[in-house]
Amino acid sequence: MIKTKPGARLSLVTIVLSMTLLACSDSEDSGASGRWYTEAQINAGVETFRENCAECHGDRAQGLVENWRTKDTDGFFPPPPLDGSAHAWHHSQSVLLQVIDNGGEALGGKMPAFANVLSHSDKLAAIAYFQSFWSDEIFQQWNQMGGTN
């Protein structure tokens, strides 16, 4: 055993622990803030969202109409914001994927179906992108309501 000064062992442990934590936090495979997705998925989701979702939901998932809860003159609900300020966080990942696959007609909207347009990983990347705008509080509530189930 190496002999050290009394406080040196604690310092060494602190340094090793700090380096371990930094290495984990820099890993591309670790989820952001304990979330299910990776930074790589968010980055992939930027393009997927821009190409398929932003026209109706806004480039930062902020929504494009103020009153998304009221049917428009055609009798359909406008696309809601997906940035955590509307109701998307009330739906588990499986429900979000079903809406992406089947479209929003069953929910009173006009969203087209993307089942044959986007791959499963593209759909998850789009969800990761808009969930990246959710506060930690909203994300935790989403987890409690079903999260990735």
Residue 12 in domain: no
**Structural domain range at position 121:** 29-144
* Residue 116 placed within a domain: yes
- Is residue 111, in this structure, part of any structural domain at all? yes
Find where tokens 């997906």 sit: 82
Q: Is residue 5 part of a domain?
A: no
For residue 110 the two structure tokens come to 């006009």
Q: How many domains does the chain have?
A: 1
Distances (CA, A) of 57 to 38, 81, 132: 22, 6, 15
Specify the 3-state DSSP secondary structure of 36: coil
- pLDDT, one tens digit per residue, over 124-142 is 999 999 999 999 999 999 9
CATH code of the domain in which 113 resides: 1.10.760.10
User: Is residue 129 in some structural domain?
Assistant: yes
Tell me which residues of the chain have a pLDDT lower than 70.
1-33
pLDDT at residue 29, rounded to an integer? 45
What's this model's pTM, rounded to 2 decimal places? 0.78
**pLDDT at residue 2, as a whole number:** 47
Please check whether residue 37 lies inside any domain of the structure.
Answer: yes
Is there a domain that residue 118 lies in? yes
